A and B are shown apart, each in its own frame.
Chain A
Amino acid sequence: MKPDIKEIVRIMKKIFLLFYLLIPFSAFSQEDLMKLVSDSNEVFVRTATFKARRIINGHSVETVGKNNLDFIISHRFDRLNRGFEDFFGLDAATNRLGLEYGINDRFMIGMGRSSFQKVFDYFTKYKLIRQSTGSINIPVSVTLFGGYAIRTQKTVPKLSAFNRSSYTAQILIARKFSEAFSLQISPALIHRNRADIFTDNRTVFASGIGGRMKLTKRTSINGEYNYVLPNQINDNYKNNLAFSFDLETGGHVFQLLFTNSFGMTERQFITETDGSWGSGDIHFGFNISRTFSFEKKKKVNP
Chain B
Amino acid sequence: MKQYLILVAFILTFNFASAQNKLYSSNKSDVSFFSKTPLQDIDAKNTRANSIINLSNRELVVRIPVSSFQFKNKLMQEHFNENYLESEKFPYATFKGKIIEVLDLGKPGVYSVNASGILTIHGVDQERKFSGKITVTENTLVLETAFDVMLIDHKIDIPKLVFKKIAEKIAVNASFNYIPYKK
Contacts from A to B (Cβ < 8 Å): 13, 17, 20-21, 23-25, 27-30, 33-34, 36-39, 42, 44-48, 65-66, 68, 102, 105, 179, 217-218, 249-251, 291, 293, 295-298, 300, 302
Interface assignment of B100: CB less than 8 Å from any CB of chain A: no
Interface secondary structure of A, over-half rule: loop
13 extra A-B contacts, CB within 8 A, seeds A20-B11, A300-B41 = A20-B12, A23-B12, A25-B57, A27-B16, A28-B56, A33-B61, A34-B63, A39-B63, A47-B67, A47-B81, A291-B75, A293-B76, A296-B72
Contacts A36-B23, A249-B159, A291-B75 known; A42 to B59 CB distance under 8 Å? Answer: no
24 CB < 8 A contacts A-B: A24-B12, A25-B15, A27-B16, A28-B54, A28-B59, A33-B23, A33-B52, A36-B52, A37-B61, A44-B88, A47-B78, A47-B82, A48-B82, A65-B77, A66-B74, A68-B74, A102-B74, A179-B89, A249-B159, A249-B161, A250-B79, A295-B73, A298-B43, A302-B171
B178 to chain A, nearest CB (A): 11
Once the chains bind, are B82 and A298 in contact (CB under 8 Å)? no
Please, how many angstroms separate the alpha-carbon atoms of A47 and B54 in the complex?
A: 36
Once the chains bind, are B165 and A37 in contact (CB under 8 Å)? no
Taking residues whose C-beta sits less than 8 angstroms from the other chain, chain B's interface range is 35 or more
Closest B residue to A45 by beta carbon equals: B67
Once the chains bind, are B4 and A36 in contact (CB under 8 Å)? no
Q: In the complex, what residues of A have CB within 8 A of residue B72's CB?
A: 295-296, 298
Once the chains bind, are A48 and B91 in contact (CB under 8 Å)? no
Once the chains bind, are A24 and B15 in contact (CB under 8 Å)? yes
B97 to chain A, nearest CB (A): 8
- B74's partner among A29, A65, A251 (CB-CB below 8 A) is A65
Contacts A25-B15, A48-B81, A249-B161 known; A37 to B73 CB distance under 8 Å? Answer: no
A40 to chain B, nearest CB (A): 11
Once the chains bind, are A300 and B43 in contact (CB under 8 Å)? yes
Please, how many angstroms separate the alpha-carbon atoms of A21 and B34 in the complex?
A: 47
- B19's partner among A28, A36, A66 (CB-CB below 8 A) is A28
Interface assignment of B25: CB less than 8 Å from any CB of chain A: yes
Question: Which of A21, A36, A102, A302 has most chain B Cβ within 10 Å?
Answer: A36
Closest A residue to B166 by beta carbon equals: A250
Please, how many angstroms separate the alpha-carbon atoms of A24 and B161 in the complex?
A: 54
Please, how many angstroms separate the alpha-carbon atoms of A174 and B91 in the complex?
A: 22
Interface assignment of B150: CB less than 8 Å from any CB of chain A: no
- A36's partner among B25, B73, B74, B117 (CB-CB below 8 A) is B25
Interface assignment of B175: CB less than 8 Å from any CB of chain A: no
Please, how many angstroms separate the alpha-carbon atoms of A38 and B48 in the complex?
A: 11
Once the chains bind, are B79 and A34 in contact (CB under 8 Å)? no
Once the chains bind, are A21 and B8 in contact (CB under 8 Å)? yes
Please, how many angstroms separate the alpha-carbon atoms of A278 and B43 in the complex?
A: 52
Q: Sorted from nearest, which 9 A-B pairs have the closest CB atoms?
A: A65-B74, A24-B15, A33-B61, A295-B72, A250-B162, A30-B96, A293-B73, A37-B50, A37-B63
Q: Which of B5-60 contact A (CB under 8 A)?
A: 8, 11-12, 15-16, 19, 23, 25, 34, 36, 41, 43, 48, 50-52, 54, 56-57, 59-60
